[in-house]
A and B are shown apart, each in its own frame.
Chain A
């Protein structure tokens, strides 16, 4: 009988090796990567937890079985199922896009390896090992972020640095909390743990002033790999944070929890909203869009209620639509600009790469939280929830979204410029200069984004169900 947690750990790792060997054959490796991620994502959410399921050759899979791995438990709980499905299905989407836009990068094999590590981080108990696995994942992500034949990525190193700096806080907290169990009168242990935890998660989530890795990751790395880090990697960190809050309820009960979380979110929204429109390159623009979105999610968490938690989880579910689409668009454009994503280098490129441009625009709409896109649904819900008590924060979110969109509009202006045409008219016949398959892939992604934007009931109940699985704000 194969235990579910082991399957989620071992299979992606094994497939990572096979995909790496077959990387030369892009379609085969992409198919394997997408298939693995898709299959595991579907399996984790559809297979029953309480009874084994027969698969091929008389083997059985028991999703709910607890596994002991070098003395540590790997447990798949109800709250983990949707989280794991999110990781795997998002990865499947990223691999699908990477098939056409980043076919020769290490994203496919490294992505599978990262999935294995991040799954382990969410499954392993105690939480101390999750921090170490996330650190290992950060080190591995450097390989995925590095552009083949390009200069060393600053983003990868910076991301690794910040995650490494976050590691001590998480590990020491665990020891402090164990000490607290032995000496419950020493409340300084709790306050020190809270401070260390706050600092560690601030580093991991890119809270201002530790946000510089976010724009660096998207600035000069493989775009889809950057999106992988910001959606799946960041998502795993969020789920880890929720696990901490679930395991140690006194953190959420701390008198400063609400104000600190909201303030951190506000700072991220403000900085991202101000810096996004000032960018002259698309890469850092994506980073600041992610910063605004992350900040908004923190604001939602700072509401300290079941509704806020649901909104934060919804933001995680819809975030990939924006960031991944933007990154796919950026990839397609960079290929045609010689790797440069400066607005000057992208002049007029939109006519040769219309689908990448469209992906960038729709992804930008989603990342900015504007209609008609997946990101709008969660931002609408958040503003609606904030408006009665915090109208200023809600308006600030709108303005930050506008800031991100201004950056996208500036990029779009450069992309559709026709420097060789005196009349600046679109005289290029709109054929398929990007290849029909690539156009189809990007079209599917755009339709998915718009579809969720019009029919959020496909994802929102999942977020609500996931929020119910956490007992954080149980009445």
Chain B
């Protein structure tokens, strides 16, 4: 059975502009979307593309470990949101669900337009920055990926106060920084600590999300 390292080696041809494009798409999707399923899926794919780019800078095994950390984070988000959706579904009625869906579509489209526009603006800025201020020790496409992740992560943190959104933003930002920093400092200790930081951010986010749902349930109970 092929190992994770083998699988990564097979798709290594994508570890160039395709991966950068994938990062751009996933990051913009995270900025625009508010649906947890889409977010978790997008984050998973984003980590995949980040790992692909990492394979060009560090050893495959280390990149794989970073990828595993990222996917574990996605698992944490998935489990948290799954629990939340089960709790919410058990309390919602059919009619409110339908009307809410309609309203949600309308709201999402207005908000999504704004977020999309902001995301595109930040992406243009990231592209310009990648051309004008290339990062040392990394190729141009990875520079662009780093700026995209950092900029869109920052935008995601700034646009919302919801724990999950902010958590996603922080993780996106850290991914971008990690992508750049492994080229400067390939130390395993630093890599491990950065991974621990990411994991703790995910845990903190999940904890706050659980608190959000708990208080929401209490208020509905009142």
Q: Which A residues form the contact surface with B (CB < 8 A)?
A: 70-72, 128-129, 132-133, 135-136, 139-140, 142-143, 146, 149-154, 156-157, 160-161, 164-165, 167-168, 171-172, 174-175
Contacts and interface: CB of A to CB of B under 8 A. Distances in A.
Q: Specify the main secondary structure of chain B where it touches its partner.
A: helix
B204 to A, nearest CB: 4
Which are the 4 A-B pairs with shortest beta-carbon distances? A139-B200, A142-B204, A152-B208, A132-B193
Nearest to A161: B157
Interface in B182-222: 184-185, 189-190, 193-194, 196-197, 200-201, 203-204, 207-209, 211-212, 214-215, 218
B215 A157 contact: no
A316 B170 CA distance: 30
B170 A164 contact: yes
B193 A168 contact: no
B71 interface: no
B38 to A, nearest CB: 22
B193 A171 contact: no
A143 B170 contact: no
A91 B108 CA distance: 46
B177 A136 contact: no
Contacts of A128: 185, 190
B137 to A, nearest CB: 9
Interface of B: 154, 157, 161, 163, 166, 169-170, 173-174, 177, 181, 184-185, 189-190, 193-194, 196-197, 200-201, 203-204, 207-209, 211-212, 214-215, 218
15 contacts: A72-B189, A129-B193, A136-B196, A136-B200, A142-B208, A151-B212, A152-B211, A157-B161, A164-B170, A164-B197, A164-B201, A171-B181, A172-B181, A172-B184, A175-B184
B189 A129 contact: yes
B201, B209, B212, B215 interface centre (most CB from chain A within 10 Å):
B201
A176 B184 CA distance: 9
A152 B166 CA distance: 12
Contacts of A161: 157, 166, 169-170
B206 to A, nearest CB: 11
Contacts of B197: 132, 135-136, 139, 164, 167
Contacts of B218: 149
Contacts of B211: 146, 150-152
B181 A152 contact: no
B208 A132 contact: no
Chain A CB within 10 Å, residue with most, of B163, B185, B208: B208
Given A70-B189, A128-B190, A139-B204, A149 B215 contact: yes
